[in-house]
């Protein structure tokens, strides 16, 4: 992300006094948490623009990202009834048992959705209970979902936000924590990619693009807003979100040349 900022600033410095397409720079700080405030900023900034470029790192081989999976984080909370597990088990309703059974049901929903397209589902966090001799009255799970198509996205979210309890007396609440819509590659994205590739050819660079599994602010811009978009315009690198996160410095300058060349076209 920092290298993307360097690229933007450096490109505008190079273009000072040179005719080029006008640009609008948008910097958000909450993309990793789902852009709870950044989404509104992106919507406002996208009004009237011809195209959008995202500056995170590209695919490992340098290809740009054209299209992204939709990404949703969902919390399923179960409320049961606490009771002593040995002295009065009949009075209890195990929130953990209910949650486990619901998660088995979630697998079935995902399997059904996979007939439409490949849906990625990860139960990333589970919590609940306090002591082994007490029937737990609360349990919850946080689920990460990734979608290729809007149809499967709508199907899964509709099912998972309307879960019904298996045990009498239990209550289930499903809450969407963050949601990024699916950005399916469209013709105007490919046209934008072709323009960038043409600028790259003049520099001896071969530029390609394909969809990415990760989600970001370009999901909104390239998806529901329908603006021609590409992402992954930053330098090549690796180790995303790890202590080994890095960029390959020579590619920073290659991408900078490409950006300047594209904006001058």
Residue 45 and residue 49: Cα distance in Å, rounded?
8
- Does 220 score more than 90 pLDDT? yes
Q: Are 227 and 181 in contact (CB under 8 A)?
A: no
Rounded to two decimals, the pTM is: 0.82
Q: Are 135 and 67 in contact (CB under 8 A)?
A: no
Architecture of the domain defined by 70-180: 2-Layer Sandwich (3.30)
- What pLDDT sits at residue 11? 96
**In this structure, what token pair is assigned to residue 186?**
């469209």
Strands 138-147 and 70-79: antiparallel
Record: fold of 2-68+183-264? Aminopeptidase (3.40.630)
Tell me the pLDDT tens digit for each residue of 4-28. 999 999 999 999 999 998 999 999 9
Residue with tokens 């315009």: 233
Q: Please, which pLDDT band fits residue 30 given cuts at 50, 70 and 90?
A: confident
- What pLDDT sits at residue 79? 98
Percent of the chain with pLDDT over 90: 83
- Does 92 score more than 90 pLDDT? yes
Tell me the pLDDT tens digit for each residue of 118-174. 899 999 999 999 999 999 999 999 999 999 888 899 999 999 999 999 999 999 999
- What pLDDT sits at residue 1? 81
- Does 34 score more than 90 pLDDT? no
Percent of the chain with pLDDT over 70: 100
Burial class of residue 72 in the structure, from the number of CB atoms within 10 Å of its CB (0-12 exposed, 13-18 middle, 19+ buried): buried
- Does 76 score more than 90 pLDDT? yes
How large is the average pLDDT for residues 60-74?
Answer: 94
Range with top average pLDDT, 23-37, 73-87, 113-127: 73-87
Q: Please, which pLDDT band fits residue 49 given cuts at 50, 70 and 90?
A: very high
Residue 8 and residue 255: Cα distance in Å, rounded?
10
- Does 234 score more than 90 pLDDT? yes
- What pLDDT sits at residue 237? 93
The domain ranges of the chain are 2-68+183-264, 70-180
Furthest C-alpha separation in the chain: 82
């Amino acid at each position: 992300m920092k290298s993307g900022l360097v690229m933007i600033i450096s490109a505008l410095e190079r273009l000072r006094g040179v005719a080029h397409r006008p640009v609008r720079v948008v910097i958000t700080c909450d993309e990793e948490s789902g852009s709870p405030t950044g989404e509104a900023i992106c919507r406002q900034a996208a009004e009237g623009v011809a195209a959008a470029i995202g500056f995170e790192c590209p695919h490992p081989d340098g290809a740009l990202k054209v299209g992204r999976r939709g990404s949703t984080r969902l919390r399923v909370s179960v409320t049961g009834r606490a009771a002593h597990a040995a002295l009065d088990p009949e009075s209890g309703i195990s929130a953990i048992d209910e949650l486990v059974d619901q998660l088995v049901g979630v697998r079935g929903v995902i399997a059904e959705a996979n007939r439409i397209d490949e849906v990625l589902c990860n139960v990333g966090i589970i919590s609940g209970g306090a002591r082994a001799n007490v029937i737990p009255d609360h349990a919850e799970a946080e689920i990460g979902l990734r979608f290729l198509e809007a149809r499967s996205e709508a199907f899964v979210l509709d099912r998972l936000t309307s879960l019904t309890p298996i045990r009498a007396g239990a209550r289930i609440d499903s809450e969407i924590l963050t949601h990024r819509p699916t950005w399916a590659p469209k013709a105007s994205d490919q046209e934008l990619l072709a323009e960038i590739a043409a600028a790259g050819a003049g520099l001896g660079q071969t530029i390609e693009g394909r969809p990415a599994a990760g989600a970001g602010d370009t999901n909104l811009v390239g998806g529901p807003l329908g603006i021609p978009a590409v992402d992954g315009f930053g330098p090549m690198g690796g180790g995303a979100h790890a202590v080994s996160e890095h960029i390959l410095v020579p590619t920073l300058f290659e991408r900078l040349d490409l950006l300047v060349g594209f904006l001058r076209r």
